[in-house]
């Protein structure tokens, strides 16, 4: 009985030590190729896209041409992490002479022009 109680206490102790929230990633430092006004505009649009979602309001990650919004839920009984992925619009700059097409960062010359 004492061993079982010890295991339960140990489990809850380990669970309570888990990181409860994630800070917004510093993704905009890598966008040196963008003029400052474009960088500010893109940053604001990305943050507004996530914060506008009731259940997944936090910006968790940005990868090339996708943003991942989500949230950490803990009601005292259950814990869960939810997330959804949003592709940046086609034509969004993602590097020097590179743009987003269908969620992928491609060289500008690989775009379909016609």
63-103 per-position pLDDT tens digit:
888 989 988 888 888 888 888 899 999 988 887 888 899 99
> What is the per-residue DSSP string for the chain?
-HHHHHHHHHHHHHHHTS----PPP--GGG-TTS-HHHHHHHHHHHHHHHHT-SS--EEEEEETTEEEEEEEEE-SS-EEEEEEEEEPPTT-EEETTEEEETTEEEEGGGS---
34-73 per-position pLDDT tens digit:
788 888 888 888 888 888 877 778 888 888 889 899 888 8
Confidence band of 6 (pLDDT split at 50, 70, 90): very low
When the pLDDT of each residue in the chain is averaged and rounded to a whole number, the result is: 74
Domain borders along the chain are 23-88
pLDDT at position 30 is 58
pLDDT at position 85 is 92
Q: Which of 65, 70, 38 is nearest to 51 (CA)?
A: 70
Check pLDDT > 90 for residue 23: no
pLDDT at position 26 is 53
């Amino acid at each position: 009985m004492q061993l079982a109680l010890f295991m339960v206490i140990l489990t809850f102790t380990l669970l309570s030590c888990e990181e409860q929230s994630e800070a917004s990633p510093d993704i905009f430092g890598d966008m040196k190729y963008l003029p400052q006004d474009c960088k500010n505009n893109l940053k604001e649009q990305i943050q507004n896209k996530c914060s506008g979602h009731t259940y997944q309001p936090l910006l968790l990650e940005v990868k090339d041409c996708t943003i991942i919004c989500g949230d950490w839920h803990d009601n005292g009984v259950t814990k869960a992490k939810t997330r959804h992925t949003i592709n940046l619009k086609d034509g969004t700059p993602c590097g020097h002479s590179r743009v987003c097409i269908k969620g992928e960062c491609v060289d500008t010359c690989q775009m379909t022009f016609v």
